[in-house]
Every structure is written in C-alpha cells, then in structure tokens.
Structure 1
Amino acid sequence: MYRLKFIILFVFIIFLTSCSKEVVEENLIKGKSLDLQVIEAYREGVEALESGDVLFAAKKFNEAEILFPQGDWAPKSALMASYAYYTQDYYGDAIAELERFIIVYPKHKNLQYAYYLLAICYYEQIVDEKKDLGAIIQAKKNFEIILNNYPNTEYAIDADFKLDLIADILAAKEMYIGRYYFDKKKWIPAINRFREIIDNYETTIYAEEALHRLVEVHYTLGLIDEAEKYAQLLGYNYKSSTWYKNSYSLFDKNYKIKKKERFKTYKKKSGGLLKKFKSLIE
C-alpha cells in the first residue's frame, strides 16, 4: 500500500513538472509571437507614414502600443502616432496623443520631445494677435516648460527663440487694443494696455511706441509731469527712435517746423552729390 502511494505521488510530480514545462514553453511562444506582432504593426506604421498615409500610420502605431502597453515599443509607438498626425496638420489629434503620452509615460526619456512637439502644434496654429489667444497661451506654456525643465537641450534653444516671437505677438495684441481705446478717447483702458507692454514685453519692438503713446495720453490729459517722465524714459532708451522725435514734438511745437527747414537746407546742399551718385549707377 505504501509502495502504491509512493508510485502515485511520483507520477503526479512528473505530471506537474511536465505541465509546468509545457506552460512555460507555451508562454514563451506567445510572448515571442506578441513581440513580433508589435514590431510588425510598428513597421507597417512607418511604411504608411513614409508613403503619406498618416491616418493608417497612426492607427498601426496605436495598435503596436495596445498590443504590449508594458513593452519598450509602447511609448515609442505613441510618440510616432502623434508625429504622424502632426505631419499632415491634424493638430487636434496630435495634441490629444501627446497629452495622453505625458500622462501615461511621465518619466520617459523622450518626454522633452513630447512637450516640444506639443508646443509646436499650438504654435503653428497661431494666426495673429487679433484672433483667439488659446493657441498662443498654450504654446507659451509648453515652451516655458522646456526652458525650465530641459534648459540644456536643443529644444530649449528653439523654445527661447519662439518665446520671443510669442512675446511680440502678445505685445502686438496689447498695442492693437490700446490704439483702439486711444482713438475712442478711453484714456484709462488705453494707459493700462500701453503699461502692460512696458511692464511685461519691454524687449519687444512695441516698447518704443508704447512709451510714446503714454507720453501722448498723459499730455492730452494735461498730466505734463507724467508725460515728461515717460518722454525721458523713451529718450534714455531710444533716443534715435522716430517715436522719441514724435514725443519731443509734443513739448516743442516748433520742432516739426525746424526739422522741415533743416531737411530743405540739407537737400539743397546735397543735391549735386546725389545727382553725381545717380549718374554713377545709371
């Protein structure tokens, strides 16, 4: 009896070992097959992208990610799907993919690229300063993330450049609205808009005009001391500027007349030289 029990136990152990081996082999086969499926889907996505069929390409990249979401190919496939959409200006789809990537793969090595491409998707949707500011604000936000979190990357260099352009656009918007209020003689809102440029966009091309407009508004209101303060600031920073000359002419009514007289005198003196120069190039 004891011997029979021993034989049954021995056979059972052999059976379990055999079953375990078969399960392992089956799992290995399935794992290998799954990996091949992922690679195949990814390869088809690349081929479709190269041929210009971006929608099918994005579909195959998404398929590759879904097949094995824990694998190394998953985040790469997700980024490729977003890039595929971006190449044909499907900005909404690209943005959705990138935002999902940032949430799902917050520590991925290519996260900096995801933020950069996300910023570019918004940046390329900017029309002008008079349109909806949503794209401008989102582009600015994501470019700043790159500068703050990845300052020593190639993306940071372009982000810094584009932030300067965005500042010009935002300053242009403030100037556009400020001029509107000025023309409507709504002095306080106009002052607020011009001050916004001086306070937050002083490095843009609109800073000179904003200072002149502040001189103009305060002079019109009879606030001469305030007008002179902004005129001095304008002269200190942009003395050769046309805007400074315009501001100066507000305080010196004879400035424009004197300027015209000087120009006429210069024209008479330089007339012969100018004709001689023209004869050389004709």
Structure 2
Amino acid sequence: MVLAVSVDLKKSARVFAVVVAAVAGSALITACQNDPDIDITKLTAETDPPEVLYNQGLANLNAGKTGEAARKFEALDRQHPFSEYARKALVMNAFVSYRNGQYQEAINATGRYLNLYPQSEDAAYAQYIQGLAYTKQIPAVTQDQKPALKAIEAMQAVVDKYPDSQYVEDAQSKIRFARDQLAGKEMQVGRYYLERKEYLAAVSRFRTVVEQYPNTNQVEEALARLVESYYAMGVTSEAQTAAAVLGHNYPDSQWYNDSFKLLQSGGLEPRESGGSWIARAGKKLIGA
C-alpha cells in the first residue's frame, strides 16, 4: 500500500512539472507577442552567419524598421568583428543613427569607421554621413555656431580626401550653408553693437564677414553696414570705399541705394580708396 502511494506521488509530481513548464512556455510566448521591442530572432542570432545578419539588417532598413536594422548591424559587429560584413555593418549603423536623429551616435560610429578603414570603398560615404550629422545640428544664427564649424571641417574632408566621390557636390553645398550661418552670426553680433553705437566693435564684426566669408549671402549687408558705421564715426574715406565696392558688386541692390543716399546726405559719393582694406577685400567678392 505504501508503494502504491509512492508511485502515485511520483506520477503527480511529473504531471505537475509538465503543467508548470507548459504554463511558463505559454507565458513566454505571450510576452514575446505583446512586447513590441523584443527581437524574436535573437535566440538564433548567435549562429547566424555574417551575410545573413547583414541582409536581415538591410531588409529591416528597407522596411522602415530602423530599430531592428540597428540591432542586426550591432549583432554582426559583436559576433563577427573581423568580417567584411562587419565593416559594412558599421557604416550602415552610422546611417541608421543619422536617420533616427541620433546625430552624436552617427558621428561616433563614422569616426570609428574612418579610424579603422580610412581607405575603404565606403570611407567617403562615412565621411559624408558625419558631415550630414553635424549639419543637422547647426542652430539659428542667434546661437553658438560650433556645429557649423564642425560641419565645414567634415564636409571639406569629403572634398579634399575623396574628390571623385558622388558626395562632393552636396558636400560643397553644405559647406556654403554652414559658412552663411557663420557669417550670419557675425552680422547678428555686429548689428547688436551698431544699434548701441559701439562702432569699432561693429566694424570688427562686419570686417570679418567681408574678409573671411566673401562669397556668402551676408556680404552685401556687411558692406552697407560698414558704410553706416564708418560714416557715423566720421571716417568718410572708408565709408565711401565700402559704398563703391558695394556698388561695383551689387549695383542693383537696395543696400547700395541706401548707402548711396546716406553718403549723398553728407555731400559725398562712393569713391574707392586703393589703400583701404575694403578695396583689397573687394577683389575677392563674387562680382569682382
């Protein structure tokens, strides 16, 4: 009788264990189905060859599933760090970070890639992504413009190091935009000083625009502001030179019309002085 009870207890224990395992498995499946962030392929990812992980990453990226794409590329980098696919995954992961607005992560990834593979076929693309990430962080001219400087540096590297790449034309466009922002910042500060009649400080800012950013869209106003500042200081020869350079490069400009009228109100007219820094800088302008 004791033996029968013992056998029944063992049988009950086995049944209970099976039920518990089944319930646990059901709960795990339910959790996987309800959690949108879980990667259902992660249990097999350890054995996936690099080309499979890479193609899975591309497929997710093309489907707009950037989070899953990033996980595949990161898994490839961890599991097959010395493969050709790992190299490609690194630059693709940088692109995914850029696409997701994670600009610093994109910059870090491209920096790592360029340190490891500076002469690879994707190096130009990595450098271009880095430049794009900095460009996206350029703020309004009222704020600090360090990202603009970084964008110029990164995009200039595209132009200088990879002159035959397909990214050069857009890199040059981004450089012009960033330079316009830097010039705009100088103008914003210069106008601040001009409004407060701190003319020497204002001239310094406007001079920076004319000399350092001669081919930006800020030069026209900068020359006009120089006319205004020098005229207010009584340095009429420089005011006349600034107006002459402005009229030579932008004869139909409203800024030139305003400058001409200002000089005319004092019995003066535009006249270029060959010894002026403005005349020398004027030779580098767009219309020179």
> Which TM class, normalised by the smaller chain length?
0.7 to 0.9
Q: Is the 8 A contact 1:125 1:135 kept in 2?
A: yes
Distance (whole Å) between structure 1 residues aligned to residue 146 and residue 236 of structure 2: 39
Q: How many residues align?
A: 223
Larger helix percent: 1
Amino acid at match of 1:224: T
Bigger Rg, which one: 1
**Deviation at 1:72?**
1.2
Of 164, 178, 187, which aligns to 2:199? 187
Of 145, 153, 172, which aligns to 2:157? 145
Say yes or no: does 1:123 pair with 2:135: yes
Secondary structure of 1:154's aligned partner: coil
Of 71, 94, 104, which aligns to 2:116? 104
Amino acid at match of 1:167: R
C-alpha spacing 1:252/1:165, structure 2 compared with 1 (3 Å) = same
CA RMSD between the two structures: 2.1
Distance (whole Å) between structure 1 residues aligned to residue 59 and residue 144 of structure 2: 37
Which consecutive segments of 4 or more residues in structure 1 shift more than 6 A? none
Task: List alignment gaps of at least 5 residues for structure 2.
Answer: 1-45, 268-288
Distance (whole Å) between structure 2 residues aligned to residue 145 and residue 45 of structure 1: 29
Task: List alignment gaps of at least 5 residues for structure 1.
Answer: 1-33, 256-282
Q: Is the 8 A contact 2:139 2:145 kept in 1?
A: no
Query: Which aligned pairs between 1:160-239 and structure 2 lie closer than 5 A?
Result: 160-239=172-251
RCO comparison, higher one (Cα < 8 Å, 6+): 2
Distance (whole Å) between structure 2 residues aligned to residue 163 and residue 107 of structure 1: 23
**Deviation at 1:54?**
2.1
Say yes or no: does 1:61 pair with 2:92: no
Of 94, 113, 126, which aligns to 1:114? 126
Of 256, 260, 263, which aligns to 1:251? 263
C-alpha spacing 1:176/1:228, structure 2 compared with 1 (3 Å) = same
Percent of aligned pairs with the same amino acid: 32
Secondary structure of 1:63's aligned partner: helix
Amino acid at match of 2:198: K
Q: Is the 8 A contact 2:145 2:181 kept in 1?
A: no
Partner residue in 2 for 1:277: none
**Deviation at 1:106?**
2.1
**Deviation at 1:120?**
0.6
**Deviation at 1:43?**
2.8
Per the normalisation by structure 1, the TM-score is 0.74
**Deviation at 1:35?**
9.0
Distance (whole Å) between structure 2 residues aligned to residue 136 and residue 41 of structure 1: 36
Q: Is the 8 A contact 1:55 1:85 kept in 2?
A: no
